[in-house]
Chain A
Amino acid sequence: MTVSTTNIVRVKRTARVNLRVLRSPAAVISIVWLVGLVIASVTGPLQQDLTAVLQGPSAAHLLGTDELGRDLLSRIVTAAAPTLLIALIAPIVAVLITTPLTLWAARRARTESVMSRISEIVLSLPGMVIILAAIAAVGTNMPAIMAIFGVLLFGALYRVFIGQAMSLHKQLYVEAAAVDGVKPMAASLRHVLPNMSTTVIVQFVLLFGAAIGVQAGLAFIGLGPQPPEPTWGGMIQAASRFIFQQPWMMIPTGGVLALTIIAANTLADVLSGGTAMPPPLISLRRRKRRAAADAATPESADATVAAAASTVEHEPSTGGLVVRDLVLGVDDGPDLVTGVSFTVEPGTVMGLVGESGCGKSVTSHAILGLLTPGLSVRSGAIEWDGVDLAAASESAMKRVRGHEIAFISQEPTRALDPMFTVGSQLTSAIRRLRGVSKREARDVAEQLLVDVGIIDPPRVMKSYPHQISGGMAQRVAIGLALAGTPRLLIADEPTTALDVTVQAEILGLLRNLVAERDMAIVLVTHDLGVVADICDQVSVMYAGQLVETGSVRDVLVAPEHPYTMALLAADPHAAVQLTGATHLASIPGQVPAPAEWPSGCRFAERCRFAQEECRSAVPLEPRADGVGQVRCIRRDEVRGRQEEWCQPVTSGGAS
């Protein structure tokens, strides 16, 4: 083992955990409380004053006295160290037993199945009853009882650990270590255990808190250390006996116990990275109106234009979708999409193309108001039938969603609810969207499944999503999208997760829908082949803005923007066809993150044709050939120089 690197790793890791704890005031207070209790306990004296029995708090006895005139504060504090130290035994035993067994079991399926049976049995033992039975056997020997408690915790702890250990073992880097020839046990120690350390520590602290509680509970029912030895549980028990005479006694005795357990749990919460939850995928609260109000405030020139546009009467091109100067952004963060405009005519397919991180998916989500909470429309308009969907109320959106515009997403199997059958998902949507009876809805659902090319609808209706293949699931998802007979379908990478042969089938289905139902589609994809196959119009996006639009033939055959050219040249499907080239075009670097967009041409940094003039803002201008727009000031100079991308780039840092 390299001394230097190992040390670096270790130092860095502890630094990270330390930082998280030290940055949290709650965690610092918790630690101070726990450590302070132990220190005070070891140093504090026991005081007794037989003349002052059952006193409330006073200057002499800050927390009052008990039934024998003993000072509560000093008794509570004296009891702290034994309580806390003995309580440590349980989590230590539990972790020492469980961790090695988990690491061992995670590597072999057979060991794991045996071990999980054992953990199940241990988990099924009535813990408290077994502990009491153990007290019957070994007496009120607290350290031994805590050790037994620790053993009993194996069942629960194993369940927590094994899940994570197994998923870590599935990580490719553990597999890669095996290919590297690292011994299995060494791989567990080097790659699995360190990544589990947070869980282990968090569970340790949680169990520590639980052990304190169990200890106090036992003392409370008289099965703890025997009087006169001070214990927290025993003191609460005494307090409860004298509750009529001196209710105050309850407060300090139980309060200290409660605060100690709270401290342990707080520490565990902070260590585990807080209790933050992942934000829901869709907005659950009605924020539409607020978004509209925001758009109306004169944040930017665009916003006022948009606000004006939304009040303006219908566009001449009725029946289509018109997106105008759409700006999307992270709330309190950077813009993700700026000034995107496009039109989708009925019965046509508009492709929204670009690499990941270019903003094409969020744009498609924005159309139906499906933006993840935390993202919102900053300005611009999404016009549909004369209504601005970007500023529409929730009830207006309700009339559009499913009825007029539908949506299908990237992962067909995950897009359907795994808990309901295909039939029930279809019929409930059909009933709501078409207002028909349950019987009728079933008939409609079966017909829809036939329409999307499913041969055996009754069987598929009864199936759950996990029982059907990805291609079938995408057909079902399309059928579901058709439930409300929409005129526009938003398809977010509908074939990316599918095999090519299945992709060809799904594209064929979409093509038929357009032809037969005069439906329009907004198709988000990164695959230029898919665009060539099905799209009529194309909008190429780069770093949150449109760089080239036009008919599919113009854009793919005679691209005018260097980015489009580069994408085409980098596509092995195109390159191999052309020349059998030994090199693909490679665009140096990567798409810049939203906060890092340059003020000029956003592609300039990676563009082999970029010059000084590209550093200033570039507007969209009409194409040289055909209808559409291009965002490149050197358009006329770079046209037709697509092949140059295939030559190695000298600048830019890529190989």
Chain B
Amino acid sequence: MFVFILRRIGFAVLTLLIATFLAFVLVHLSGSTPGGVALGQTATPEEVVAYNEAIGWYDPWIVQYWNWLVQVLQGNLGVSLIDGRNIADDISKRLPVTAALALFGTLFSAVLGIVMGVVAAVRGGAVDRGITATAGIMLSLPVFWVGVLLVYLFAVQLRILPATGFVPFNINPEAWARSLVLPVLTIALTAAAGIARQTRASMSEALTQEHMRTLRAVGTPTNRIIYVHALRSASLPIIASVAVQFIILFGGSVVIEVLFALPGIGQAMQAAVGTADLPFVQALVLVATLVVVVVNLALEFSSRALDPKLRAA
């Protein structure tokens, strides 16, 4: 078990290194240089080159990457080329926004998706066809379109929720909650459809397992068979799909944050890419990968805790 944990963590670190190095290469392949971006259109080429020299832009990549890593390990993610903000501070302010969005979105979609999937698998027939068709459509609808429609319905027509914008929790918890309802609802619809599909497939497979007959033969009540035994059997792929949805929501929050004007990681990414704010892009890749890696680790450990066969292996 100890060896397993070490190995997984080592693997996670390797993933982080590869992702950030990839971002590093992409940043360097882009036409822009830090000097060009930071000093703007008015600077002379000499000034730009001097700026770049100063920050070591012309050093070998591997040296630059190493220097960056050392800085990161000291908690220094650098400053924005555009306005000189401290990137680490900025991200730490944005992280709770995106995290709340992804977390609530995942929770809501997990509940909705699992209920849909279990009902479809257990009831079968017309109920199943209805749920499956609904999930199929939900899965196909572009989130940003759904988001705009929801804004139109709840904010423009019904006027019960704010259209866009964000209020931090410590300023006004109620307004904070209200500002999150529409974004969460929007992303949860697609995510719930994905989870519903997985739940339905896993549940229906679990219900064909030979031990279902044994359970019924010793008089196990139907609800216990469904919710204790079958759902437990089906739980691993369901949890995996919930984790995948969390990762998608976290990484895919760009579109939602832009749409609802939420000051999160995604919005920062869009802005940084648009303005070629290179250290910011690099830092955001690091943060996003870190989230993915941590969620995957949590998934890995919870799967082992849940499945006796994995635990033994």
Contact = CB atoms under 8 A, between A and B. Distances in A.
Interface string A453-468: 0000000000010110
A124 B308 CA distance: 25
A240 B259 contact: yes
Nearest to A369: B216
A269 to B, nearest CB: 7
B55 interface: no
Contact of B26 (A137, A216, A480): A137
B252 A128 contact: yes
A76 to B, nearest CB: 13
Contacts of A407: 213-214, 217-218
A377 interface: no
Interface string B249-276: 0111011001100000000011011101
B136 A265 contact: yes
Contacts of B140: 209, 258, 261-262, 264-265
Q: Which of A213, A266, A406, A407 is packed against the most chain B CB atoms within 10 Å?
A: A213
B128 A240 contact: no
Contacts of A368: 216-217
A243 B148 contact: yes
Interface string A269-299: 1000001011111101100000000000000
A429 B142 CA distance: 48
Nearest to A373: B124
Contacts of A236: 142, 144-145, 148
B229 to A, nearest CB: 6
A319 to B, nearest CB: 20
> Which of B210, B222, B233 has the most chain A CB within a 10 Å cutoff?
B210
A398 B217 CA distance: 9
B11 interface: yes
A135 to B, nearest CB: 6
Contacts of A490: 217
Interface string A127-166: 1111011111111000000000000000000000000000
A281 B208 contact: yes
B172 interface: no
B273 A133 contact: yes
B289 interface: yes
Contacts of A233: 144
B121 interface: yes
Contacts of A128: 251-252, 254
B312 A127 contact: no
A28 to B, nearest CB: 17
B212 interface: yes
Interface stretch (B62-70, B87-95, B290-298): B290-298
B144 A265 contact: no
B67 to A, nearest CB: 19
Contacts of A261: 140-142
Contacts of B309: 418, 464, 466
Contact of A277 (B11, B200, B218, B308): B200
A648 interface: no
Interface stretch (B44-52, B78-86, B104-112, B277-285): B277-285
Interface string B24-68: 001101111000000000000000000000000000000000000
Interface in A425-443: 429, 432-433
B26 A417 contact: no
SS class of chain B's interface: helix, strand, loop or mixed?
helix
A414 interface: yes
A483 interface: yes
Q: Which of B22, B144, B214, B247 has the most CB of A within 10 A?
A: B214
Contacts of A243: 148, 151-152, 156
Given A129-B284, A133-B273, A278-B205, A415 B312 contact: no
A130 B22 contact: yes
A233 B144 CA distance: 9
Interface residues of B, number: 87
B30 A217 contact: no
Given A129-B288, A277-B204, A217 B217 contact: no
B232 interface: yes
B210 A281 contact: yes
A411 interface: yes
B205 A429 contact: no
B149 interface: yes
B241 interface: no
Interface stretch (A218-226, A308-316, A587-595, A612-620): A218-226
Contacts of A132: 254, 269-270, 273, 281
B14 A121 contact: yes
A419 B233 contact: yes
B19 interface: yes
A277 B251 contact: no
B210 A415 contact: yes
A247 B11 contact: no
Interface in A222-252: 222-223, 233, 236-237, 239-240, 243-244, 247, 250
Contacts of A432: 218-220
A419 B308 contact: yes
> Which 4 interchain pairs have the tightest Cβ spacing?
A254-B145, A407-B217, A280-B207, A126-B288
7 contacts: A124-B296, A125-B22, A130-B285, A216-B144, A258-B140, A277-B204, A409-B213
Interface of A: 117, 120-121, 124-130, 132-139, 209, 213, 216-217, 220-223, 233, 236-237, 239-240, 243-244, 247, 250, 253-254, 257-258, 261-262, 264-266, 269, 275, 277-282, 284-285, 365, 368, 370, 398, 401-403, 406-409, 411, 414-421, 429, 432-433, 464, 466-467, 477, 480-481, 483-484, 490
Interface of B: 11-12, 14-15, 18-19, 22-23, 26-27, 29-32, 121-124, 128, 132, 136-137, 139-145, 148-149, 151-152, 156, 200-201, 204-205, 207-220, 222, 225-226, 229, 232-233, 247, 250-252, 254-255, 258-259, 269-270, 272-274, 276, 278, 281, 284-285, 288-289, 291-293, 296, 306-309, 312
Given A216-B142, A236-B142, A239-B148, 20 more contacts: A120-B11, A124-B292, A125-B18, A126-B285, A130-B285, A138-B30, A217-B143, A223-B274, A243-B152, A250-B148, A254-B149, A262-B137, A278-B205, A280-B122, A284-B225, A406-B217, A408-B214, A414-B209, A415-B213, A433-B218
